Amino acid sequence: MKLLKKFLGKKEDNNYMKDYRNLEDTKQISSKLDDNLSYIQQKLNHPSDLQKMYLKDGKALLVYLETLSDQDKVNEKVILPLSKMDNNQIQIKNMESTGKQHTDLHEGIKQLLKGHALLFIKGTPELYTFNATAIHNRSVDEPANEKVVRGSHEGFVENIIININLIRKRIESTDLAVRYYKVGERSNTNVGVLFMQSLADPEVVKKLDERLKWITSDTIISPGYVEEFIEDTPSSPFPQMLNTERPDGVMSDLMEGRVAVMVEGSPTALILPVTLMAFYQTPDDYNGRWIAGSYLRMIRLLSFFLAVTLPAFYTAIIAFHFEFIPNDLVLPIKASIDDIAYPPILEALVMVITIELIREAGVRLPTPVGQTIGIVGGLIIGDAVVRAGLISNVMIVIIATTAIASFVVPSNEMSTTVRILIYPMILSAALLGFVGITFASMIILIHLCKLESFGTPYFSPWAPLKWNELKDTFIRVPVWKMNQRPSDTQVEELNRQRESRGWKKT
Partner 1 sequence: MSSGNNITQQQLFFLVIQAQIGVGILSLAFNVFDTARQDGWISMLVAGLAIQVAIVVIWMLCRRFPSSMLFDILSRLLGKWIGNIVNSGYLIYFTFTAAAVLAVNAQVIKNWILPATPSWVISFLMTFTGIYVCTGNLRVLARFFTVVSVLLVVLFLVTTYGLREANFIHLFPIGEAGGMKILSGAKEAILAILGFDLLLVIYPFVQGKSSGILKKVSLANLLVTLFYTYTIVITLAYFSPNELKLVPEPIIYMLKTFEFPVFARVDLVFLSIWLVSVATSFMIYLFMASKGIAYMFHRSEKHYKFVPWLGGMVFIVSLIPGNDELKVSAMSTYASNLSFIFTMGIPAFLLIISYLFRKKENEVKADDN
Positions in the binding site for partner 1 (CB under 8 A): 320-321, 323-327, 432-435, 437-439, 442-443, 445-447, 449-450, 457, 459, 462-465, 490
| Shortest distance (Å) from residue 279 CB to partner 1 | 18
Residue 353 or residue 435: which is nearer to partner 1 going by CB? 435
In 428-481, beta strands by DSSP E:
452-453, 456-457
Query: Which of 138/450 has CB closer to partner 1?
Result: 450
Measured from the CB of residue 330, what is the shortest distance to partner 1 in angstroms? 9
Q: Residue 377 CB, nearest distance to partner 1 (Å)?
A: 32
Q: How many CB atoms lie within 10 A of CB 61?
A: 22
Distances (CA, A) of 389 to 61, 80, 235, 395: 80, 80, 40, 12
CA 132 to each of CA 74, 85, 150: distance values in angstroms, whole numbers, following the listed order: 6, 21, 39
Q: How far apart are CB 264 and partner 1 at their closest, in Å? A: 35
Closest separation between CB of residue 439 and partner 1, Å? 5
For residues 81 and 457, which CB has a smaller minimum distance to partner 1 in the complex? 457
For residue 464, whether the previous peptide bond is cis, meaning omega lies within 30 degrees of 0, is yes
CA-nearest of 249, 250, 252, 269 to 261 is: 269
Q: Give the burial class of 120: count Cβ atoms within 10 A of its Cβ; 0-12 exposed, 13-18 middle, 19 or more buried.
A: buried
Question: Exposed e or buried b for every residue in 433-463, given b needs 16+ CB within 10 A?
Answer: beebbeebbeebeebbeebebbebbbbbbbe
Helix/strand number for the chain, H first, E second? 18, 12
Distance, CA of 229 to CA of 432 (rounded, Å): 38
**Residue closer to partner 1, measured from CB, 78 or 278:** 278
Give the span between the Cα atoms of 214 and 208, in whole angstroms.
10
Pinpoint the alpha helices (H) of 87-218: 105-113, 160-170, 202-214
> What's the closest the beta carbon of residue 326 comes to partner 1, in angstroms?
5
C-beta of 109 vs 470, nearer to partner 1: 470
Q: Which is nearer to partner 1, 19 or 323 (CB)?
A: 323
| Residue 431 beta carbon to partner 1: minimum distance, rounded to whole angstroms | 9
97 touches 73 (CB < 8 A) = no
- Minimum gap (Å) between residue 461 Cβ and partner 1: 11
Nearest to 422 by CA among 325, 352, 361: 352
Q: How far apart are CA 81 and CA 78, in angstroms?
A: 6
Provide the minimum distance between the beta carbon of 421 and partner 1 in the complex, in angstroms, as a whole number. 16
Strand partners, 189: 183
- If the CB atoms of residues 292 and 445 are measured against partner 1, the closer one turns out to be 445
Q: Nearer to partner 1 by C-beta: 381 or 449?
A: 449
Comparing CB distances to partner 1, the nearer of 255 and 449 is 449
